[in-house]
Structure 1
Amino acid sequence: MSKPRSTDNNHLHLGCFFPAGQTTFLLSDEAVRRTPPMTRTNLVAFAEAAEQVGFDSLFIADNWSGHQRISEESKHQGPSYHAALLAMALFAVTDNIGVISTIHTSYHHPAHVARMGATLDAFSGGRWGWNIVTGFLEQEALLFGDTPVEHDERYRRAAEFVDVVKLLWSEFEPIDHKGEHYSAAGRLKAPRPVQQPHPFLINAGASPAGSAFAAKYADMMLMMAENEERVREVDERLEALTAPLGRSVATSAFCVSIVREGEGEAQEEWDRLTTSINLAATKELATDIVGGVESMQDIFAKMGEDEATRAFGSAGSTIHLVGTAEQVAEKLISLKQNTHATGAFINFPLWSAAELQTFAPVLPHLLDAGVWQPPNTRDYSW
C-alpha cells in the first residue's frame, strides 16, 4: 500500500538529479575528470546516499539519439542509461525514495508506458513517477523512422496518449479506444499501479502548449528558472491555467549545488569548474536544447552567441545553491517563502555518494525554518 499524496504545500520536496552523463547543467571538463565512472557500483551508491541524506526523489533525465558526438565523446552526455530500466535497478536497492523516469510519448504506444509504469509502481510499492516528455529532437524522430511533429501538435498527441495510459491503468474491464492518434482495445495485464488515482506525473513544458498540458495532466511542473523572479512568472502563468480547471499543480525549479564548510570554499570550487567549460560540447547541446525548449530561449535570448553559450554551459538556466550549508539553506528557504514553488530538483556537478553527504548539513536549517521534514517522519511520499 503506497503512502498518500501530500496536501501540505508548506514543505519543500527535495529531488536529486540523477547522473544522466558525467555532467548535466555544468559542462565542465574538470567535473568530468573528478566525477566517478558511471558504473553499477557508483550509481547504486549515489542512489543509496540520496535516500540516506533525506531526498524525496531521484529524477532521471533521458533521450534517445546519439547524434551529439562531441558531447558524448567528451563524456558530458554519455553514457546515458535508459531511464525506465535504470529506475527498476534503483528500486531494488532503496526502500523509500521515489524515482522519476523520463519517458517520451512520441516514441511509444500508450500500452507500452502503461505496462512499464504499472510494473515500476507496483514493484516499488508506489514510488514511481513519470516525467512526461514529447521529444523535440529531429534526430530522435528519424531514429524511429518518423518525421518531426510540430511543437503544439506533439502536446495534442501527448494529451490523448496520457488519457489512454490512465484508462489502461484504471479500467479492469477491456477498453475500446479509437482516437485521433491512438487505438487500444483490451485490458492491461496485472499488476496495476499502486498509487491512486495514478502514479506521480511530472512535466516541464513552459511554452503555452506545454503549460496548458501541465495544467491539465501534471501533479508537478518542473521549470528552468535562474532566479526567484522567473519562478514567480512561471507560477503565475500556471495558476492562471489551473484555476479554471479547479486543479493545483506543484512547481519545482532545477538547481545546481556545491556545499562546502568554509566561507568562500564552495564559490572557489564553482569558479574552478567554470574555467573549464567545454565550449564545443556546449555549442552542440545548446543548438539542440535551446532551439527546442522555449523557457531556455527566453533566458538566453538577450545574450550574444558566445555569452549565451558560456551561460548555457555554466548552468545559466538554473538556480545556483553554492555556499556553506547555512547559505544554501537560506536560498532554499527564500525560494519557498518568496515563490509558490513546492520543490527543488538539485543537480550536483561533482556528483558522487560522498558529494551528496556534503548536502546533509543543509537539512537541519530547513527543518528549523519549518519548510522541510525528514521523509521517514511523514505519512506521504510525494
Structure 2
Amino acid sequence: MPSVRKLHLNTFLMGVGHHEAAWRHPLTEPSRLTDVRHYQELARIAERGRLDSVFLADGLALKGEVRHNALGGLEPLTLLAALAAVTERIGLIATVSTTYNEPFHVARKFASLDHISGGRAGWNIVTSAGEAEAHNFGIERPAHRDRYRRADEFLEVVTKLWDSWEDDAVIGDRRAGVYADTAKIHPIEHAGAHFAVHGPLNTSRPPQGHPLLVQAGSSEDGTEFAARHAEAVFTAQQTLEEARRFYADIKGRLARYGRFPEELLVLPGISPIIGSTECEALRLEKELEDLIVPAYGLAQLSQMTGIRLTEDQLDDPLPDIPVETEGAQSRRRLVIELARRERLTVRQLLTRLAGGRGHRVVAGTPEQIADQLQEWFEGGGADGFNVMPPLLPSGLADFVDHVVPELQIRGLFRIDYEGRTLRDNYGLARPASRYAASGSPRSGERDGGPLDLAGAA
C-alpha cells in the first residue's frame, strides 16, 4: 500500500525575524544577532516540531541600509557546525556562492559539516547577483548566464570530489597497518572552462554521499539549473495560480535529465503571522507595519529594481521598469508584477515587501495558516514550505507549537522523523560514488603505480 504523501517544512532562520521591522518589536532582542545561543535555541525549537531542516541564507556584502535594520550576522557553515552539536535529527542547510568560492573549499567544508552532523548537511547553491559582492572581490559582476555556466561546472567538480573516496575506502586495519585502500580513492583530474582540479578530496566521503542540493532562483537559467541538479527548491510566489505554474514547469523539465518528479521538492516561502484569533494576528501585523522605516524599504526596493526611488514617490505608482537584469531576475519580476497586478503605490508595495521580501505573508489563526498550507500542498503548488517567521524566536515557537499539531491532526505532516539524515527525512535517495558505480580504473593502478597522496594530511 503506497504511503500517504506528507508535506516537508524547512524554516529559514534570519536574525531576529523576517519582517524588516522585527528588530524594533518588543518580542525580539536584536543584541542576539551574533549570539550562537540564539540560533541554537531556534534549531532546538525547529527540531521539537520535527521540521525537516533549518536554512541560513548568506551574502558576501552588507546588503541593505544598516542604519535602519539589524544586519551583519554570522557565516552560515561556521554557525551550522555549532547547531549540529545541540541537535540530532534536523537538517542543516547553508547558502554558499559558486561565483566567489572555489570548488575544493566548498566540497571539503560541506563534507566536514555532513560528518560533524551525522549526515544532515545541505547546500543552497547561489550564483550571487549583487554588484556589491563583486566589488568586494575586485571584479565586475559576471553576466547572469555566465554565472550559471560557472555554477554548472562548479557543481560538477564538487560532486566529483565528494565521490573521490568510495564508501568503503577506509579500512582501519590496525593489525595490518592499513588505514585506507588507496585503490578506492580516486583523483578526479577535472579540466574544464573554469576549473582545473586534480583531487582527490582530503576528507572521506560524506555520510549522505552528497549533501542535499538546494537551489533558490526562479529565473529561466535558475529553473533549468534546478531541473538538472537540485533536490529541493526554495521559491517565491504570491498566488496559488503562480505557484501551480512554477510547480508544473519545473517538474516538467526533469524528464529530459532522466529524473522523476519526486526527486525534486518545491518549497515556496511563507511568512506566517500567527494569533490565537484572527484579530490578534492582524493586530500583530499592524504593529509590525507601524514600525517600518520607509527609508530602509526604499533602499531595498531601489536595489531590487535598479532605479533610485525617493520619499517623494511614496504615494505614486511604481515607475515603468524593465524586467530583464543581470542581477536577481526572478525576484525583480515578482515585485514588478505584484505592483502592476494590484496597482500598488510605492508605499503600499514597501508594506507588502516588508514581511517577506516578495514571499507570501499570511496572517491568521493556526487553523487558518494550516488551511493555506493544505490548499497549496493539495492544489499542485508545493511539496512543502520554507517557513519564514516574522519574529524570532516567538514566531517559530508559535508555528511549531500551534500550526504543526494542526497539520499532524490532518495527516499532512510527520509525527516523528523518518530517519537520521536529511536525505532520509526528505525521502531522497543516497547517490553512489560515480567512480565505484562506473567501474572506472582503480586509482592505485594509474600509470602502473600507487596513488600519490603526498600532502593530503
TM over 0.5: yes
| 8 Å Cα contact 1:31-1:349 kept in structure 2 | no
1:31 to partner: Cα distance? 4.5
Structure 2 residue 398 is the aligned partner of structure 1 residue 358? yes
Cα RMSD for the two superposed structures: 2.1
- In the TM superposition, what whole-angstrom CA distance separates every residue of 1:320-362 from its partner, at most 9, and x where no partner exists? 232111111111111111124111011111111x443322222
| 1:296–1:170 Cα change, 3 Å | same
- In the TM superposition, what whole-angstrom CA distance separates every residue of 1:82-110 from its partner, at most 9, and x where no partner exists? 11111111111111110110000011110
For residues 78-97 of structure 1, the aligned pairs below 5 Å read: 78-97=71-90
| 1:31–1:371 Cα change, 3 Å | farther
| 1:120–1:328 Cα change, 3 Å | same
* One-letter amino acid of the structure 1 residue matched with residue 52 of structure 2: D
| 8 Å Cα contact 1:9-1:342 kept in structure 2 | no
Structure 2 residue 90 is the aligned partner of structure 1 residue 75? no
Structure 2 residue 249 is the aligned partner of structure 1 residue 261? no
| 8 Å Cα contact 1:121-1:127 kept in structure 2 | yes
Q: 1:315 aligns with which of 350, 356, 363?
A: 356
* One-letter amino acid of the structure 2 residue matched with residue 255 of structure 1: I
- In structure 1, C-alpha distance between the alignment counterparts of 2:63 and 2:328, rounded to whole Å: 18
User: In the alignment, what sits opposite 1:61?
Assistant: 57
| 8 Å Cα contact 1:336-1:371 kept in structure 2 | no
SS state of the match for residue 376, structure 1? coil
- In structure 2, C-alpha distance between the alignment counterparts of 1:35 and 1:29, rounded to whole Å: 7
1:128 to partner: Cα distance? 0.6
- In structure 2, C-alpha distance between the alignment counterparts of 1:88 and 1:137, rounded to whole Å: 27
SS state of the match for residue 244, structure 2? helix
| 1:143–1:9 Cα change, 3 Å | farther
User: In the alignment, what sits opposite 1:110?
Assistant: 103
- In structure 1, C-alpha distance between the alignment counterparts of 2:407 and 2:270, rounded to whole Å: 16
SS state of the match for residue 102, structure 1? strand
Structure 2 residue 348 is the aligned partner of structure 1 residue 335? no
Structure 2 residue 365 is the aligned partner of structure 1 residue 324? yes
* One-letter amino acid of the structure 2 residue matched with residue 127 of structure 1: R
* One-letter amino acid of the structure 2 residue matched with residue 226 of structure 1: Q
User: In the alignment, what sits opposite 2:46?
Assistant: 50
Structure 2 residue 20 is the aligned partner of structure 1 residue 27? yes
User: In the alignment, what sits opposite 2:451?
Assistant: none
User: In the alignment, what sits opposite 1:3?
Assistant: none
5+ unaligned residues in a row in structure 2: which ranges? 165-184, 307-326, 427-457
| 8 Å Cα contact 1:125-1:194 kept in structure 2 | yes
User: In the alignment, what sits opposite 1:191?
Assistant: 204
* One-letter amino acid of the structure 2 residue matched with residue 202 of structure 1: V
SS state of the match for residue 121, structure 1? helix
Structure 2 residue 333 is the aligned partner of structure 1 residue 298? yes
| 8 Å Cα contact 2:8-2:384 kept in structure 1 | yes
Q: 1:281 aligns with which of 286, 292, 296?
A: 296
Q: Percent identity?
A: 31
- In structure 2, C-alpha distance between the alignment counterparts of 1:307 and 1:325, rounded to whole Å: 26
| 1:174–1:210 Cα change, 3 Å | same
5+ unaligned residues in a row in structure 1: which ranges? 1-6
- In structure 2, C-alpha distance between the alignment counterparts of 1:74 and 1:236, rounded to whole Å: 39
1:309 to partner: Cα distance? 3.0
Structure 2 residue 114 is the aligned partner of structure 1 residue 121? yes
- In structure 2, C-alpha distance between the alignment counterparts of 1:259 and 1:231, rounded to whole Å: 22
- In the TM superposition, what whole-angstrom CA distance separates every residue of 1:249-292 from its partner, at most 9, and x where no partner exists? 21000110122223421111112211222221112222334553
| 1:289–1:120 Cα change, 3 Å | farther
- In the TM superposition, what whole-angstrom CA distance separates every residue of 1:280-324 from its partner, at most 9, and x where no partner exists? 111222233455322222222125544433332243622223211
User: In the alignment, what sits opposite 1:16?
Assistant: 11
1:65 to partner: Cα distance? 0.8
- In structure 1, C-alpha distance between the alignment counterparts of 2:110 and 2:23, rounded to whole Å: 37
SS state of the match for residue 361, structure 1? helix
- In structure 2, C-alpha distance between the alignment counterparts of 1:252 and 1:61, rounded to whole Å: 15
1:52 to partner: Cα distance? 1.1
User: In the alignment, what sits opposite 1:169?
Assistant: 162
Equivalent pairs, count = 369
- In structure 2, C-alpha distance between the alignment counterparts of 1:290 and 1:169, rounded to whole Å: 38
Structure 1 stretches of 4+ with a deviation exceeding 6 A read none
- In structure 1, C-alpha distance between the alignment counterparts of 2:116 and 2:334, rounded to whole Å: 40
* One-letter amino acid of the structure 1 residue matched with residue 201 of structure 2: L
SS state of the match for residue 175, structure 1? coil
TM-score by length of 2: 0.76
1:244 to partner: Cα distance? 1.9
